[in-house]
Structure 1
Amino acid sequence: MNRRHLIMAAGVALAAWSAPGFTPTALAQNAEKPKLTLGVGGKQLLYYLPLTIAEKKGFFKEQGLEVEINDFGGGAKSLQALVGGSVDVVTGAYEHTIRMQAKGQDVRAVVELGRFPAITIAVRKELAGKVKSAADFKGLKIGVTAPGSSTALTAQYAMVKAGLKATDAPIIGIGAGASAVAAIKQGQVDIISHLDPVTSKLEADGDIVTLIDTRTEAGTRALFGGSNPAAVLYLKGEFAEKNPVTTQKLVNAFVKALKWLETAKPEDVADLVPPEYLLGDKPLYLRAVKNSQESYSRTGISPPEGQQSVYDALKLLDPELATSNVDLKKTFIDTFAKKAASGS
């Protein structure tokens, strides 16, 4: 082993030694689990674009990993898959780590993919005259990727903040791609809480009027009062403990994807993703990418104030969490992302 390899090995070892709550493990440069399964809820959504970049640019393979991606109907379903043991890791909403910690289940994020939720809440154009804000949502059908997912919780949070109850409007799962577009166009739902490229497609077609937009820092602060981490890579704590090299390699791939995305042109992204992601409208997809680029994490690390913002929203929405006392330091291990960002 040459000097460079020794330094790299030492860096990986340091990440495992310093990860809070974990004990040292015998380390090697090869991943303990080179073949693994990853769950995601709506992979074609721009919310999960860093995953597609890591896959299509070959960043997982560069790390010696073979990652099988299982795409579920929504974030809540991919969480269920992790808990049930059918996937090893998940790209999903940060909030799920808080919920699991509150239930005594050690689920932790290891890299932030989205620093803003990138969720847009909009009303069907026909109803825009009488629906001006979330205060007017009572009794209306709200379309989301899946009940229990971040799109649903964001809509419910907006309602509660506007003085309504989270149960004042029915939440309807409409999927993540063409089915979501159809749900609005066919009048199956009145409100849509969703993500790009679905949002930009409906905006461009004149089907919706946007009321809340968390694709930007300003829009996120307007709703949540501060930053609000969105998509992350999360896993069971025991997985990181038993597979620290594998975990580091996964994080390395995602951080490289974030760095690529930070300077990529929308055309670069459109040329990389599968054709079906474009929803049959490449110019529209380019606009959607441009609209969403501000929302992606720059460092892979979630700031404590952002974590607290998510927790505060959950406490407001969920009676089971209202009196909880989750240690947020246990919801996110930042050691792996710091090591990946340093290039060690």
Structure 2
Amino acid sequence: MKRFLALGLAAFFAMTAVLTGCSSTPEKIRIGEVTRSLFYAPQYVALEKGFFKEEGLEVELSTIPGGDKVMSALLSGGIEVALVGSETSIYVSQQGAADPVVNFAQLTQTDGTFLVSRTKMDDFTFDKLKGSVFLGQRKGGMPQMVGEYVLKKHNINPQGDLELIQNIEFKNIASSFASGTGAYVQLFEPEASRFEQEGIGHVVASFGKESGTVPYTVFMTKQSYIDSNAAAIQKFTNAVYKGQQWVASHSAKETADVIGKYFEQIDPKILETAVQRYLEQGSYATDPILDEKEWNQLQDIMDSAGELKQRAEYNKLVNTTFAIQSKEGK
């Protein structure tokens, strides 16, 4: 009897050890980011500081150029979470998707582009753009929509008051300007700071400051994934919030040092300058909550650009439950 009891206990403890080992195995989440950008600094900080691991997650990050390609990967199950502009979730909804793509954690809250002039000017006003050649961003993306929204705000007709170039691929815009195309260009960092350092161009305005707060880049996933993996999404959002808080409480240099491995081709000083620009204009969200006012501003910008078929319901495409719980420490 004792022998069988001992064997039974041994089997029980062995099974317990197996189950314990299984419960400690990190859950894996694959992220697809639309581009590699220091605009996403809090994400890289969360990775490098081990915030995802602290939450029991194993995160695999891949860069998938183009919002349409990121959405294809998400919808087909190639990734679990997409980091891309909120407008893509609206485009998917407009196409009648049965499984909505839901925004659950905001990463950036302003446009990240700057207006760069080929010539230095201390007295820049937007009316100087009239009659010029302006190298903008690709049509349908948030940078282009924000760019046109800001121009209209300053009484400039993007299609009539200047020559607007929008047929150059995102990855080639900076090099096109450097080779002589356009008198003005709309650029993200670190290209804007690099051009200033090299004397190629000069930052004269910020589209982020001009357009106000919007849910510019957001982590999103399918509703079906949230339904089946709510605990994992909560852990993910917790890690994002930790990254946001770390960036908000540290210097631009400290952040640049942490994320440097993701931008090995960029001069550390330029990286620091670019991070400082984004910090100063509040581009990095300090918490993951996407509020309804920001959502409405996004749709106003899309509507102004002619890219919005109908208004998208905030409560259908945005879920703030995880973000609020992260901020409240629950």
Cα deviation 1:5-40 (Å, max 9, x = unaligned)? xxxxxxxxxxxxxxxxxxxxxxxx969992232111
Q: SS at 2:287's partner residue?
A: coil
Offset of 1:141 from its aligned partner?
Answer: 5.3
Q: How many percent identity over aligned positions?
A: 22
* Alignment gaps of 5+ in structure 1: 1-28
Q: Does 1:101 align with 2:101?
A: no
Q: CA deviation at 1:175?
A: 4.1
Residue of structure 2 equivalent to 1:89: 81
* Alignment correspondent of 1:133: 126
Aligned equivalent of 1:245: 231
1:143–1:189 CA contact under 8 A, matched in 2 = no
TM-score, scaled relative to structure 1: 0.77
Q: Does 1:171 align with 2:157?
A: no
Q: Which residue of 1 aligns with 2:202?
A: 209
Change (3 A) 1:75 1:251: same
Shift of 1:49: 1.2
User: Which of 310, 319, 337 is residue 298 of structure 2 equivalent to?
Assistant: 310
The answer to whether the Cα contact below 8 Å between 2:136 and 2:147 also exists between their aligned partners in 1 is no
For 1:170, the aligned partner's letter is: I
Q: Contact 2:260–2:268 (CA<8 Å) still a contact in 1?
A: no
Q: What is the one-letter code of the residue matched to 1:298?
A: T
Distance 1:134 1:79 in 2: 37
- Whether contact under 8 Å (1:143, 1:171) holds in the other structure is yes
Q: CA deviation at 1:67?
A: 1.7
* Cα offset, 1:117, TM superposition: 1.7
Larger radius of gyration: 2
Residue 337 of structure 1 corresponds to 323
Count of residues in Structure 1 that have an aligned counterpart in Structure 2: 301
Give the corresponding residue for 2:27.
34
Per the TM alignment, residue 337 of structure 1 is displaced from its structure 2 partner at its CA by 0.6
What are the residue-to-residue correspondences of 1:291-302 with 2, within 5 Å?
291-293=277-279, 294-302=282-290
Q: Secondary structure at the match of 2:205?
A: strand
Taking structure 1 as reference, are residues 258 and 240 closer, same or farther at Cα in structure 2, changes over 3 Å only?
A: same
Superposed, 1:57-206 pairs within 5 Å as 57-105=49-97, 106-125=100-119, 133=126, 136=129, 140=133, 142-144=135-137, 148-161=140-153, 162-165=155-158, 169-175=164-170, 181-206=174-199
Distance in 1 separating the partners of 2:213 and 2:49: 29
Question: Does the C-alpha gap of structure 1 residues 166 and 338 become closer, same or farther in structure 2, counting only changes over 3 Å?
Answer: farther
| 1:328 aligned onto 2:314 | yes
Deviation at 1:235, TM superposition (A): 1.2
- Residues 275 and 121 (structure 1), Cα distance of their counterparts in 2 relative to 1, 3 Å cut: same
Q: Distance in 2 between matches of 1:301 and 1:72?
A: 25
Aligned to 2:13: none
Distance (Å, rounded) in 2 between the aligned partners of 1:173 and 1:40: 21
Deviates more, 1:69-78 or 1:161-170: 161-170
The question of whether the paired residues in 1 share the 8 Å contact of 2:174 and 2:187 is answered with no
Distance, in Å, in 1 between the alignment partners of 2:92 and 2:316 is 11
> Residue 56 and residue 108 in structure 1: after superposition, are their counterparts in 2 closer, same or farther (change >3 A)?
same
Residues 85 and 139 of structure 1, relative CA distance in 2, 3 Å threshold: farther
Q: Distance in 2 between matches of 1:94 and 1:308?
A: 11
With 45-54 and 248-257 compared, the bigger mean Cα shift is at: 45-54
The one-character-per-residue Cα deviations of 1:220-269 (angstroms, maximum 9, x if unpaired) are xxx33x42221111111111111111111111110110011111112211
Structure 2 stretches of 5 or more lacking a match?
A: 1-21
Shift of 1:278: 5.7
Matched, 1:287 2:273: yes
Q: Secondary structure at the match of 2:108?
A: coil
Structure 2 partner of 1:22: none
Indicate the larger mover: 163-172 or 263-272: 163-172
Query: Which residue number corresponds to residue 270 of structure 1?
Result: 256
The Cα of 1:109 is off from its aligned counterpart by 0.8
Matched position secondary structure for 1:112? strand
Provide the aligned C-alpha RMSD in A.
3.0
Q: Which residue of structure 2 aligns with residue 46 of structure 1?
A: 38
Letter in 1 for 2:185: I
Pairwise CA distance, 1:190: 4.5
Conserved in 2, the CA contact under 8 Å of 1:157 and 1:166? Answer: no
The CA distance in 1 between the partners of 2:126 and 2:24, in whole Å, is 50
| Letter matched to residue 176 of structure 2 | A
* Matched position secondary structure for 2:47: helix
